[in-house]
Amino acid sequence: MELNNLIEDYNKNGYVVVDDFLPNEEANKLEELYYNNSDWTLSDQVRDDLYSESHFQSAKTKSIYLPKENESYSAKFWSSDGLVSEIESIHDKYFKPMLENISQVDLNDYNLRCYKMDEGCHYRTHLDQWVSSVGCLYYINRDWIWDWGGIFHLDTASELSDDSDSVIPIFPKFNRALIINNTLDKFKFPHFVSHVTDYAMNPRFTLVTFGKESG
């Protein structure tokens, strides 16, 4: 897709999906780094008050299909700080200019995160507006299949919508990037990742980067 079309979709819909995001050599390098990495730390989170906190309440949609205030947020995933340092050069060369070109924003503050998800890993519904101006989720797995779980779901409804069909799945295709505009008032983009099943044959690997606007 041409850059002008990506910019138009990003501003109109609030997100774009970009396949073949990296040159093959760099995509293969990331894949190798992830599979060879042994420095993973498990996070198993439970928060009883997330859905009643002001930052979620003020930004959430009115959908009756999202978690209620009395429910608990949970997430389980692996992360690697050591891997982040190994991929910073690839990020600065490819991710940073592409995110700035699509968003048309000078992003001077980046937060990179390297994630692995295996059996039982998941994220309940949450928001990222308070984290960044632009969010990017990059998929590193080959040969993933739908019923292994680990599927990112994005609520694309406007904040005044109450549409049960507004949540769309984004398949974790190798070398695919999902770029989200967190600055639009029209969209709030609650999202979640379904549980990875016990029969998934590989871990699910992603690179997540959050970029904040200068000034």
In the structure encoding, which two tokens stand for residue 97, read together?
Answer: 């200019």
Please write the tens of the pLDDT for every residue from 50-69.
777 655 655 555 566 677 77
Cα–Cα distance measured from residue 150 to residue 192, given in angstroms and rounded to the nearest whole number: 9
The residues spanned by each domain of the chain are: 3-63+70-213
Cα–Cα distance measured from residue 60 to residue 83, given in angstroms and rounded to the nearest whole number: 33
pTM (2 decimals)? 0.91
Note the pLDDT of residue 189: 81
Cα–Cα distance measured from residue 21 to residue 34, given in angstroms and rounded to the nearest whole number: 17
Domain 3-63+70-213 has CATH 2.60.40.10: no
Note the pLDDT of residue 68: 78
Torsion angle, CA of 56/193/197/165, rounded to 10 degrees? 100
To which H or E segment does residue 11 belong?
Answer: helix 3-13
Task: For residues 105-131, give the mean pLDDT.
Answer: 89
Please write the tens of the pLDDT for every residue from 175-215.
999 999 887 666 678 889 999 999 999 999 999 999 888 65
Asked if residues 14 and 6 have their Cβ atoms less than 8 Å apart, the reply is no
Q: Rounded to the nearest 5°, which phi and psi values hold at 36?
A: -90, -10
Task: For residues 154-160, give the mean pLDDT.
Answer: 71
> Count of CB atoms within 10 A of residue 142's CB?
14
